[in-house]
Each structure stands twice: as C-alpha cells, then as structure tokens.
C-alpha cells in the first residue's frame, strides 16, 4: 500500500514569509517593523482561545527549520539536553528575551528624545555589532530606524539560535524554548485555570445553603 501524499495548503508555505522578511531586512532595515506581526499575532490568537495554534500551524520559522533539518537533512536529530527543555531555562530565556525587547524600546526613546544619536548597527547575540549603514532611512525619523535596527537584530539573532539548535539537535528544537511559544503556553495555562476555577466556584455556590 502506498501512502497518499497530503495536499499542501497556503499554511504550509509560511516559511517563505519568514525567509522573505530576513532578506528584505538586509536591503532595507525598515522592513524590520513587519516582524512585530510575528510578535503580536501569536499572543492575540492565544488570548482569544487559540492556544498554541500559531506555533503549530502558522509559524514560518518552525517550518523553515523543519525544511532545513528534515528535508535537507542538516539536523543530527539528537535529543536536546534536559536543561534546555526545563521550565527554568525556558522561563529564564523568556525573561531575558523580554528584557532585551525593553532595552530596544528604551534606546528608541533615547533617540526620539534626542538624548542619543542613531546607531546604524545590527547586534548579533546582543554583543557583536555589525555596521549596517547602507539602508536608505532618510525618509523616516531617526527613532523609527533605531527601533528597526534593534528589532531586526533580535529577530536575526533568534533565527541563528534556531538554526544552531536545529543543526545540533532535532529540526524544531528552537520551538521548545522559543519565547513566543512559552508566552502562548503560559496564556493557555492561565485560561485553563480560570475556566476550571469558574466551574468549581459555580459548583461550590450551588452546594452552599
């Protein structure tokens, strides 16, 4: 018996969007603002009861890593170390990730208030700075460009981290400790507890005299 191939839909090609985003950012850093969609859409889906549907269905980065690791056979397909899968590491990485996002917003504010000049650099792994001054940013305010540089640095760094863990372990190992995945999971857990508590309270109230 031969297995029937599952017909692909538009949701199977979300990886093209992730790849296009990274490429466009190299040609014009202002495209980095589009990355906010990947930041807020998963949260909105989870808040409105979708759980981790974005991660499981729409995440282009996860699809891209799966193609590189599974289809192109670049992954070693090894299990991740337990500490990388632990809640302490995942929550710790989420906290670090969010603190770096706050730093980006703070630096943007400094440029907005003229307390600091625009720095046209991409920072990889929050440490290594690459000069990146060939984007045309003359049409926007300096603070707009500053946020773009900072946010693109974070998006590019997280993509590289995903590729590294894909090469060393299983293709979608990044998804285990992805900050967005951790946040949507926390939202789902909070909603589950609230629903259970409301059911419990309604039952308790019925039994009260």
According to the model, what pLDDT value does residue 195 have? 66
According to the model, what pLDDT value does residue 133 have? 65
User: Is residue 23 situated within a structural domain?
Assistant: yes
User: Is residue 189 situated within a structural domain?
Assistant: no
Angle 112-113-119 from CA coordinates, rounded to 5°:
55
User: Is residue 115 situated within a structural domain?
Assistant: yes
User: Is residue 137 situated within a structural domain?
Assistant: yes
User: Is residue 187 situated within a structural domain?
Assistant: no
User: Is residue 198 situated within a structural domain?
Assistant: no
- Average of pLDDT values for 140-167? 96
Q: Nearest Cα to 166, choosing from 93, 87, 72, 88?
A: 72
According to the model, what pLDDT value does residue 128 have? 87
- Residue 209: pLDDT over 50: no
Minimum mean pLDDT among 22-36, 96-110, 120-134, 160-174: which range? 120-134
3-state class of 72 per DSSP? coil
Domain count, the chain: 1
According to the model, what pLDDT value does residue 5 have? 63
Give the residues across from 129 on adjacent strands: 123
According to the model, what pLDDT value does residue 129 have? 87
According to the model, what pLDDT value does residue 98 have? 95
The Cα 191–Cα 187 span in angstroms is 6
Residue at token pair 């060939």:
134
Q: Which residue has the higher pLDDT, 200 or 114?
A: 114
User: Is residue 199 situated within a structural domain?
Assistant: no
Minimum mean pLDDT among 3-7, 53-57, 101-105, 106-110: which range? 3-7
Q: Taking all residues of the chain, what is their mean pLDDT, rounded to a whole number?
A: 88
pLDDT band of residue 127 (cuts 50, 70, 90) is: confident
Domain around 159: 10-182
- Residue 198: pLDDT over 60: no
User: Is residue 4 situated within a structural domain?
Assistant: no
């Amino acid at each position: 018996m031969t297995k029937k191939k599952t017909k692909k839909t538009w949701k199977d090609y979300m990886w093209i969007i992730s790849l296009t985003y990274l490429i466009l950012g190299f040609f014009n850093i202002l495209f980095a603002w589009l990355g906010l969609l990947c930041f807020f859409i998963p949260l909105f889906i989870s808040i409105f009861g979708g759980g981790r549907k974005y991660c499981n269905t729409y995440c282009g980065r996860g699809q891209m890593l799966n193609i590189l690791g599974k289809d192109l056979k670049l992954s070693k397909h090894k299990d991740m170390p337990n500490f990388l899968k632990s809640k302490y590491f995942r929550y710790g990485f989420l906290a670090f990730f969010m603190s770096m996002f706050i730093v980006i917003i703070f630096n943007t504010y400094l440029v907005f208030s003229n307390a600091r000049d625009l720095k046209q650099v991409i920072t990889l792994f929050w440490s290594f700075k690459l000069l990146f001054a060939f984007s045309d940013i003359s049409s926007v305010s300096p603070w707009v460009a500053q946020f773009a540089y900072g946010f693109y640095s974070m998006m590019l760094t997280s993509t590289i981290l995903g590729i590294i863990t894909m090469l060393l372990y299983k293709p979608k190992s990044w998804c285990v400790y992805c900050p967005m995945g951790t946040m949507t999971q926390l939202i789902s857990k909070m909603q589950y507890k609230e629903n259970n508590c409301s059911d419990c309270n309604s039952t308790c109230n019925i039994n009260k005299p």
